[in-house]
């Protein structure tokens, strides 16, 4: 029997929340240029991880205005973020064991205006020095 594994397909790393709309029906509005880079489709399931507060939630993606840098949390989840928070947006894919072992997820790094940037893994992530964690 070939076991299926749920693997990280892609993520938009440390995007800045540009808005939160409590009264919208739900979802996360994402600049479609970022959606394309991360291979996220309209209405695709995504997980959102708030770097500032540690909250995590699931929703679906919808496209905003191209080139706008929009990252807007809609509906009830708007209570879990504030404008300016950093979030990680993750998408998933199921694959068999052989595919999973060879799989490399797409990692999309962005600047403070949610524009894609190149990132050297040996360097600090954008915005990394700005947050403090109490232990």
Q: Which residues are catalytic?
A: 27, 60
> Can you list the alpha helix ranges (DSSP code H) found in 14-96?
32-37
Among residues 44, 39, 48, 41, the alpha carbon closest in space to that of 14 is found at 48
**Residue 134 is assigned to a ligand binding site:** no
**Residue 77 is assigned to a ligand binding site:** yes
Which residues have a Cβ under 8 Å from the Cβ of 92 and sit 6 or more positions away?
6, 7, 8, 9, 45, 47
Is residue 100 within 8 Å of residue 4, measured between CB atoms? no
**Residue 98 is assigned to a ligand binding site:** no
**Residue 100 is assigned to a ligand binding site:** no
Both tokens of 7, joined, read 């693997």
Binding-site residue set for substrate? 59, 75-77
């Amino acid at each position: 029997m070939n076991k299926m594994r749920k693997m990280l397909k892609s993520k938009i790393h440390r995007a800045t929340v540009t808005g939160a709309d409590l009264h919208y029906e739900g979802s996360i509005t994402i600049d479609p240029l970022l959606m394309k880079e991360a291979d996220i489709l309209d209405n695709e399931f995504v997980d959102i991880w708030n770097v500032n507060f540690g909250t995590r939630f699931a929703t679906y993606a919808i496209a905003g205005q191209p080139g706008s840098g929009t990252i807007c949390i809609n509906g009830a989840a708007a209570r879990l973020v504030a404008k300016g928070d950093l979030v990680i947006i993750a998408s998933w894919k199921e694959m068999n064991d052989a595919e999973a072992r060879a799989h490399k997820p797409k990692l999309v790094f962005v600047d403070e205006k949610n524009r894609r940037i190149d990132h050297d893994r040996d360097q600090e992530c954008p915005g990394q020095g700005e947050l403090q964690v109490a232990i």
